[in-house]
Amino acid sequence: MQRLSTAIKVHLSLLVVSLIYGATFSMAKIIMPSLIAPYGFILLRVFSGAVLFLLVHSLFVQEKVSRKDLAPLAISALFGVAANMLMFFKGLSITSPINGSVLMLVTPVFVLILSALIYKESLHWQKVSGVLMAAVGALFLIGGWRLKFEADKVIGDIFIMLNALSYAIYLVYVRKLMRKYSPITVSKWNFLFGFLFVLPFGFEELMSVNWSLFGNVEWAIVAFVLLGTTFLTYLLNAYALGHASATLVGSYIYLQPVVATILAILLKQDQLNTLKVIYILTIFAGVYLVSFKKKQINGN
């Protein structure tokens, strides 16, 4: 059987990431914040990520990094692990879920702009129109028309926007490290530095968790978030960033509402209709345009 091409592996990796993230929001609500506070959960995630990547790295990679790259790795951890997680949960605790969902859609737009400014990536019409098309589809799919800016929630909205900008900076900035080192190596250092950044925020909340209240379902959710949402998603995203543009990786965020919608329909919490199908197809068409590469003339 012929091996899968790198492009297909990248898209499959990003699709799995979207599937995991799409399922995480509903599952995490079962235990957070009733059983574990947000910052405590973040610290648990980052600590487990650091342990898992250290273990996998020591067994399979054993790659050393140059001392001069430790500072860039710390910067990528600041934006990609610590800042985006902390600001997202802080913002979501203040603003409404619909505001948080809608404002997160600007992440690929930030990635597109930063990639053009930093790496001088061309803003050809396929990429720009693809990002905008997917954004519109996702906006309508999650009911973006219900977005409301209220005085008491503005700070939360700002935190969500800063989270989106932080993650965009991470996707663009970390790409050069992914091209130099193994995804496991970069992820290991990101979580090690990330743990140091997050520790002061989540230590007290994590220590106050009453683990005796957790049953089989709750422990299964914790395992899913730690192994899937934390370890596997960062690993697959890291792999994709080593072989694709940050804009493509960022644009897959628009598939998360699709996954959430499909899960809601399967669980009979929502119903499929013509408009939802149109929105979903619009998102897929937009992501396709972002991944589309213009053929070079004369085969050069």
pLDDT, one tens digit per residue, over 24-61 is 876 877 888 889 988 999 999 999 999 999 999 999 99
Mean pLDDT of 165-194: 93
Nearest to 132 by CA among 274, 293, 291, 287: 287
pTM of the predicted model over 0.85: no
Q: Exposure of 126 by Cβ count < 10 A (0-12 exposed, 13-18 middle, 19+ buried)?
A: middle
Residue 300 pLDDT > 70: no
> pLDDT class for 124, splitting at 50, 70, 90?
confident
Cα 81 from Cα 87, distance rounded (Å): 11
State the pLDDT at residue 147: 63
Closest Cα partner for 252 from 14, 19, 10, 88? 14
pLDDT exceeds cutoff 70 at 297: no
Tell me the CB-side half-sphere exposure of residue 105, using CA atoms within 13 A: 26
Ranges 68-77, 139-148, 172-181, 281-290: which has the least confidence: 139-148
In angstroms, the first-to-last Cα distance of the chain is 29
Please report, rounded to a whole number, the percentage of residues in the chain having pLDDT higher than 70.
90
Q: Read off the tokens for 75.
A: 């910067």
What are the b/e assignments for 132-162, b being 16+ CB within 10 Å? ebbbbbbbbbbebeeeeeeeebeebbebbbb
Query: Mean pLDDT of all residues in the chain?
Result: 85
Tokens 């994709």 correspond to what residue? 240
- What's the pLDDT score for residue 76? 95
